[in-house]
Chains A and B, each alone.
Chain A
């Protein structure tokens, strides 16, 4: 990265109040030195002297009086229109404020023009930074002391990575919010975890000891801060029952959930996208009606009922497939994949159809046909390509939701995944596990949303070009 680009990025970031804060936090020493230099130079450089000369010049003219008269008129007219009675002194005070503000603006603009003619720049933070960074020693000093600032600057070079960084920061705040929300809900719960775990017969000493071990005797804020610390260190704490590390338990169950999710994605996309395309191209045909009826049916079937019916017909009555999930047996994955895939393919097929129908009648599709493109190219490249955004959104949302474990389906097929883990523990209720589970799933869902948003820029040139100006 060249020095010039660093300077540009600094100037751009310093203009925005949020990013200015980032710069101060991440590169405190560098920005502090720059700020001291800026304060020292301000008012002593050439631009300031040009401005001072100009001020004297303008004060000699009648400009100030003219501005005041105009402002007075403006304030009076305004009060007259709104039928307000304001004392003369108040009116004049308001007019004076407006006049001074206008005068300063005019003065600044004129000074800038004059300075530009003489080849002098106004002193700004960016200019100070540019001057400082040309000094090799300072560059080294600031690289060592405020390297996080430079990392952020590198990320801000590319619009997509800048967008991703912005979203990641937002996501971290959201995650803290989620911890606060869920912790508060669980904190104000009328239940006593100690009695739930130890049983009703527990003595007061046992209860006190339990509360001491898990820090439940501490005030709300201390407990909340501990949860925040857990989130920062990615520790998530220990469960009440069995006192196991929750992060380890979640990591153990993640591969199973991922496997089930992957296969249901394969099932659902394999059905949904072709069905949606055919329905959209042959709108109002019998295929369209039947496919959309099944899609709506798929949306309306409860997962557990479909699972039970599959078990009834494929396992109990005919014995083709085993009824419960076994990790070593791939055949047992078929039914869960079908059950989860049905609901998902229903919404994806509906979305594919409706978004393709919107694109189908656009002028550019007519152009594509008119220039003699083969039909399948028109459909797949032009119609489907331009209808991709809502489809990807739906798929991403569903994928994120499924990665969080689908507790109901997991329970039907006895899959030992994340969803059923959380549900099992909430019967106790094992508060840390519920909290950690919610945080984990919110994290996965947020990451999926981020991935989808970045995918937009990759698949849609319109969004890509808009992002360039971001």
Chain B
């Protein structure tokens, strides 16, 4: 009797242990993590579209059908992955991998989660370069898809076909690069033949495609790394960053918005965003106007696309400017200590005592409403935060041996601060910058909503929302979509920042 109970208990423990092992195996499998999130998101969107279809009917049924089919496909694939990874073989079979090909086309209905899951599934050996090339291709395709929505409009911009051609060409180039990545980059060092591709990748930065830029400089960095045994530190950081799927998604959204604000110069018509067209005043969402029209008949979708440019611009400048000023002040204060430290920090205490949004209100009250003043106002408020972070970090670094060694060698103070101390205390600042961009976007739109941010006629997300809030009762979509855009970009920055924090964590090195 007792023996039986013992065996039962043993079996229970065994099962628990097996469960833990399986969990670890699955969380280590990139195919599983991407496919799981793929079916979850696709299901949620599919159900939402189905509800939409029940009230509005028509084309929504088709969209819901496509999404639910995608969900079914991805769900089956996920179940097979779970079975095969935790099974005896421990490897995903070739048939399951073939399912990945079916998942790729869903990118054309906007489901990039399925695309990533598919791309990760079809290939057995995946390195960071392969992932980068997938994301780079995804960004290009997504721009093509979003720009193609303009085809439903009455007319397109003069440069539309030029832009589409350019991005189409770049998509083809991306595919070529992808095959080159598969051929040449799986060794310790990329093959010499990959170098021309690497330069093409770097040129992709002109189109805002940071993924392809990263791919290029990583290849070059690895190629020109003299000591093969020692890995390059910044490449390691990126590799760790790519382990966290959510932060990859965040990075993808930020980079997509960055590239789309560059692409919109060619493929979108600024006129549709700003000129009045009263024949379509307050039009409901349709294929021609995906997010409807506002009270002046301006396409909300186009306005949101052009709004990304301003949000990103204001976000970046008003984060980087205080970071440079505050970072230097903090570094100088911490390095010299004593009186210098005291004076700088007391002045910054004054700035710190005023909440940044209030300081912005005061600055704008003094100098009037304009984008430049907004950037100035947000920048001033950000200085003390960066100075404090930098100061705390530099205080830790300044006492280390290598700084003492530099001093003993007779290096000048400027050299020590800029060459030795600052590069070694950047990690928390980088994380802060990423998060700060998200909150700068939030502050910008809040101030615009109050009517004291960006000028009222400029298509900025807060401005669109402010206009939409007047028509909340009759035309709620004008306020809903810009709000969603703000949430998505801030969420993306936050996830990206979280991932960066983990990737830069010295404990994980």
Size of the A side of the interface (Cβ < 8 Å), in residues, is 49
Within 8 Å by CB of A305, from B361, B451, B486, B491, lies: B486
Residues of A within 8 A of B353 (CB): 174-175, 177-178, 442, 445-446
B1 beta carbon closer than 8 Å to chain A? no
Indicate if the CB atoms of B362 and A438 lie closer than 8 Å: yes
Contact A191 B366 (CB under 8 A): yes
B442 an interface residue at 8 Å Cβ cutoff? Answer: yes
Q: Would you call A27 an interface residue if the criterion is a C-beta within 8 Å of the partner chain's C-beta atoms? A: no
Closest to B363 in A: A185
**Given A316-B472, A438-B359, does the pair A177, B366 have CB atoms closer than 8 Å?**
no
Give chain B's interface residues, CB within 8 Å of chain A. Answer: 346-347, 349-351, 353-355, 357-359, 361-368, 438, 442, 445-446, 449-452, 462, 465, 469, 472-473, 476, 479-480, 483, 486-487, 490-491, 494-495, 498
Q: Least Cβ distance of B458 to chain A in Å?
A: 18
> Is A186 a contact partner of B366 (Cβ separation < 8 A)?
yes
- In the complex, the answer to whether B473 meets A302 with C-beta atoms within 8 Å is no
A-B contact count (CB 8 A): 131
- From A7-15, A71-79, A369-377, A420-428, the one touching the partner chain is A420-428
Contacts of B357 in A (CB 8 A): 407
B354-A302 in contact (CB<8A):
no
Interface contact B355-A404, CB-CB below 8 Å:
yes
Query: In the complex the two chains form, is A434's CB within 8 Å of B483's CB?
Result: no
Q: Is A69 an interface residue (CB 8 A)?
A: no
Known: A312-B472, A441-B354, A442-B354. A185 touches B491 (CB 8 A): no
CB pair B450–A429 under 8 Å, yes or no, is no
Q: Per-residue CB proximity of A49-68 to B under 8 Å, as 1/0?
A: 00000000000000000000
> B363, B451, B479: which contacts A427 (Cβ < 8 A)?
B451
Stretch from A152-160, A254-262, A293-301, A324-332 at the B interface: A293-301
CB of B442 within 8 A of CB of A401, answer no
State whether A178 touches B354 (Cβ < 8 A). yes
Distance of A180 Cα from B498 Cα, bound (Å): 38
Inter-subunit contact A301/B362 (CB<8 Å): no
Interchain CB contact (< 8 A) of A408 among B346, B365, B446: B446
A311 in contact with B367 given A177-B350, A304-B449, A445-B353 (CB within 8 Å):
no
Residues of A within 8 A of B346 (CB): 173-174, 177
The answer to whether A407 and B347 have CB atoms under 8 Å apart is: no
A169 at the B interface (CB under 8 A): no
**Residues on B with beta carbons closer than 8 Å to the beta carbon of A237:** none
30 sample A-B contacts, Cβ–Cβ < 8 Å, listed by A number: A174-B350, A174-B353, A175-B353, A181-B350, A182-B354, A185-B366, A296-B491, A296-B498, A300-B490, A301-B483, A302-B442, A302-B445, A302-B462, A302-B465, A303-B446, A304-B465, A305-B483, A305-B487, A312-B476, A407-B357, A423-B361, A426-B361, A427-B452, A434-B361, A434-B362, A438-B362, A441-B354, A442-B353, A442-B354, A446-B353
Beyond A296-B495, A316-B473, whether A190 also contacts B367 by CB under 8 A is yes
Question: Once the chains bind, are A308 and B491 in contact (CB under 8 Å)?
Answer: no
Instruction: Tell me, yes or no, whether A21 is within 8 Å of chain B by CB.
Output: no
Q: Report chain B residues within 8 Å CB of A437.
A: 358
Across the interface, do A426 and B364 meet the contact criterion of CB distance under 8 Å?
Answer: yes
Contact A174 B349, beta carbon cutoff 8 Å: yes
Measured in the bound complex, the distance between the Cα atoms of B365 and A435 in whole Å is 10
Bound complex: CA A3 to CA B486 (Å) = 65
Using CB atoms, name the residue of chain A closest to B476. Answer: A312
The chain B residue with its CB closest to the CB of A179 is: B350
Smallest Cβ-Cβ distance to B438: which chain A residue: A300
The answer to whether B452 touches A426 (Cβ under 8 A) is: yes
Instruction: State A445–B359 Cα separation when bound (angstroms).
Output: 13
- A302–B473 Cα distance when bound, in Å, is 20
CB distance from A444 to the nearest CB of B (A): 10
Closest 6 CB pairs of A and B: A177-B350, A189-B366, A305-B483, A300-B490, A429-B365, A426-B365
Contacts of B362 in A (CB 8 A): 182, 185-186, 426, 434-435, 438
- Interface contacts beyond A189-B365, A191-B368, A300-B438: sample of 4 additional A-B pairs, CB < 8 Å, sorted by A: A180-B350, A407-B357, A442-B355, A445-B353
Rounded to whole Å, the gap between the CB of B450 and the closest CB of chain A is 6
A407: which B residues are within 8 A, CB to CB?
357, 361, 450
CB-CB nearest in chain A for B439: A299
- The CB with the most chain A CB atoms within 10 A, among B350, B351, B358, B445, is that of B358
